Structure 1
Amino acid sequence: MKLAPLALATLASVSLSLLPSFASAHKAGDFILRAGAATVDPSEDSGSVFVGGSDTGMEVGADSNTQLGLTFTYMLADHWGIGLLAATPFEHTLSLKKSVLGLGDGTLADMKHLPPTVTLQYYFNKPASAFQPYVGAGINYTTFFDEEFSSTRKNQGFSSLDLDDSWGWAAEVGVDYQINDKWVVNGTLWYLDIDTTAEFRFGGSKSKVDVDIDPWVYMLGVGYKF
C-alpha cells in the first residue's frame, strides 16, 4: 500500500508527458493550411426560363459535387484571422424541371465553377486551447466555365450556354482540434450567396434563366500550421 502513492504519481507524470503541448496554438502570426473533402450542396431557387422574352414556366436545378478543398488562415492576432477557401473545380449537372413543349425533365447541361471566398474569422478560445471553434464572414466570388448542353438538349435546339460570374456574401462556422503543435483536424461549414444568370439560345431565340444557387459547403479535413 505504501507504493500506491508513488505508483499513482509516476503514472500521472507519464500521462502528462504524453499529452501534447499547445503553448503555441493559434497565436498571432501563425499560418494554417487545411485540406480535405469539400462538398458544394446547392439550395437553388430558380426563376422561370424565358425564351424570346416569354415566360415558359420551366425551371433549372443543380446537383451536389465533392472535390478537394483547401483553406488558408493567417492569424492577424490571437483571436482574429483572415481565411481563404479554395478548391479544385466543382462540376455540376444542371437539370430542367417543369418542362413544356415535350422537352422532358432531366439533364440539361454540365458546368464547372470555382468559388474562392475570403472571410474575417474570430476564434473564441484562448490561444493555448487545443479546441478552437470559430466563425467568419466575408465575400465570395464564383466564376463559371466549361458550360455545355447535353447532346440530347443540343438536338432539341439548345445552344450557346453562358453563366455569369457572381459576387456575394459568405458566412462560415468551423472548429480546429489541435493534435500537436503542428497538426489539426478541422470541420467547416460555409453558406455562400451565389446568384447567376444563364444565357443561351433555344431554337434560335435568345433565352435566359436566373438561378440563386446559394449552396451550403461543408468540409472535413486536416491542417498543418507553419
Structure 2
Amino acid sequence: MKLKQAVTGMAVLACMSTAAHAQSAGTFFFSTGWFHLAPQSSSDPLTVTSIGGSPTNITEANTGASLSSADTIGFTGGYFITDHIATEFVIGVPPTFDLEGSGSLEQFGKLGQAKQWSPTLLFKYYFNAPTASFRPYLGLGVSRVSFTDAKITNSNFEANVLHGPTSVSTDSSWVPVFNAGFTYAFDQHWFAGVSISYLPLSTTAKLNSTSTTVVGTLNIQSQTKIKLNPIVTYANVGYRF
C-alpha cells in the first residue's frame, strides 16, 4: 500500500513538473485563432486642400465616414522570459475594412475599402503559478499599422462629391496596444485562450481626384482624419514546448 502511494505521489509530482515546464521560463509557444476587429470609428469632415495646385482649406460640412467591423485568422509566437513574463509577436491575415458614409454621405452607403496590416509585439504578465491551468494576464505592446489596396468603390460618390476618378493613400503609424486575457492549459502542451486588445489609432486618408472640365483636367486634393480605435478580440488554440 505504501509502495502504491509512493508511486502515485511520484507520478503526480512528475505531472506537476511537466506542467510547470510547459508554462515557465524558457518555454516557447505558438497559437492560431480568430480575430474580430470592431472599430469605434468616427472622422473629421472632408476637407479640400488643393484645387489645380492652389492651396485651399474648404471644409465640406456634415460629411463623415466610419469603418465596418472585420474578421480574420491570426497567428502568434511567444517566449516565457520568466515564469510570469512573456513576450509575444502577433500577426493576422490582413482584414478588409469597408468605409461607410455618415452625415450627408450616408446616402452613398459604402464609399470604399482598404486592407489593414498591424503586426504587434506584446509583453505580458501572467498571474498564478506556472503549474496552474488557468492563467489570466495583462499585456502592453506596440503595433505598426498600415493600409494597402485603399480605393474608392462607389462611382456615385466619386463623381458627385470627389468630382472624378480618385486615388487614395493613407498614413502608417506606430500605436500602443493595451491587452488582457487568459489561457487554459489542457495538458503540458495544449492550451486555449481568449484576449481583448485596444488600439488608440487614427489615420489620415488623402484623396487625389482628377476632374474633367471644359478647359482640361483639374487636379483636386482632399483629406480626412479617421479615428479607428479598434477593440480586437482573439480566440485561439496553441501549443507549448
- TM-score tier (shorter): 0.7 to 0.9
Deviation at 1:71, TM superposition (A): 1.8
Is 1:54 equivalent to 2:58 in the alignment?
yes
Unaligned runs of 5+ in 2: 50-56, 212-218
Runs of 4+ in 1 over 4 A off after TM superposition: none
TM-score w.r.t. structure 2 length? 0.81
Match of 1:3 in 2: none
Q: What is the alpha-carbon distance in structure 2 between the residues aligned to residue 31 and residue 45 of structure 1?
A: 39
Q: Is the CA contact 1:158–1:200 (under 8 Å) kept in the aligned structure 2? A: no
The structure-2 alpha-carbon separation of the partners of 1:111 and 1:66, relative to structure 1 and needing over 3 Å to count, comes to same
- 2:119–2:145 CA contact under 8 A, matched in 1: yes
Alpha-carbon separation, structure 1, partners of 2:148 and 2:84: 37
Post-superposition CA distance 1:94-121 (Å, at most 9, x none): 1121126xx8341111100111111111
Maintained 8 Å contact 1:38/1:217:
yes
Instruction: List aligned pairs for 1:46-125, cutoff 5 A.
Output: 46-52=43-49, 53-57=57-61, 58-99=63-104, 104-125=107-128
Match of 1:195 in 2: 202
CA contact (8 A) 1:98 1:105 kept: no
Matched-pair contact (CA < 8 Å) for 2:111–2:154: no
Cα drift, residue 151 of structure 1: 4.3
CA distance in 2, matches of 1:201, 1:104: 22
CA distance in 1, matches of 2:104, 2:89: 39
Matched, 1:35 2:50: no
1:23 partner SS? helix
Mind listing any 5+ residue stretches in structure 1 that lack a counterpart? Answer: 1-5
Task: Confirm or deny that 1:44 pairs with 2:59.
Answer: no
Match for residue 136 of structure 1 among 126, 134, 139: 139
The one-letter amino acid paired with 1:83 is E
1:55 counterpart letter in structure 2: T
CA distance in 1, matches of 2:35, 2:175: 19
Judge conservation of contact 1:45–1:212 (CA < 8 Å) in 2: yes
Shift of 1:193: 2.1
- Identity rate of aligned residues, in percent? 26
- Deviations 1:63-112 (CA, angstroms, capped at 9, x unpaired): 01110011222111111011222100111111121126xx8341111100
Say whether the 8 Å CA contact 2:88–2:123 is kept in structure 1: yes
After TM superposition, the structure 1 = structure 2 runs for residues 3-22 of structure 1, keeping only pairs within 5 Å, are 21=16, 22=19
